[in-house]
């Protein structure tokens, strides 16, 4: 299992478009992918857009990715890149 921290950088946070991108990318991997909000200790399935939206993670939120499976390294790199890029959206 790989556990790593990410920051929500885009201005609108983990809203519908960003959550859709994240869920769609997560579904490409066979690994189990969960995202935890350490402020609430709540974990959600990153492959579920509804669960991602329920997190209501705004800009600046620190989240933790938990990824386990055969393709965990590739999944981690791909999902971290999405967060670092702000899902292709402005950060200010």
For the chain, how are helix, strand and coil distributed in percent, rounded to 5?
35, 25, 40
Among 9, 14, 15, 31, the one annotated catalytic: 15
15 flagged as catalytic:
yes
Catalytic residues: 15
């Amino acid at each position: 299992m790989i556990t790593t921290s990410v920051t929500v950088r885009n201005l609108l946070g983990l809203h519908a478009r960003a959550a859709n991108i994240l869920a769609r990318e997560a579904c490409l991997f066979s690994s189990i992918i969960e995202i935890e909000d350490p402020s609430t200790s709540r974990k959600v399935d990153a492959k579920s857009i509804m669960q991602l939206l329920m997190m209501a993670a705004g800009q600046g939120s620190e989240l933790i990715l938990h990824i386990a499976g055969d393709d965990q390294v590739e999944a981690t790199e791909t999902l971290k890149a999405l967060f670092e890029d702000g899902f292709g959206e402005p950060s200010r």
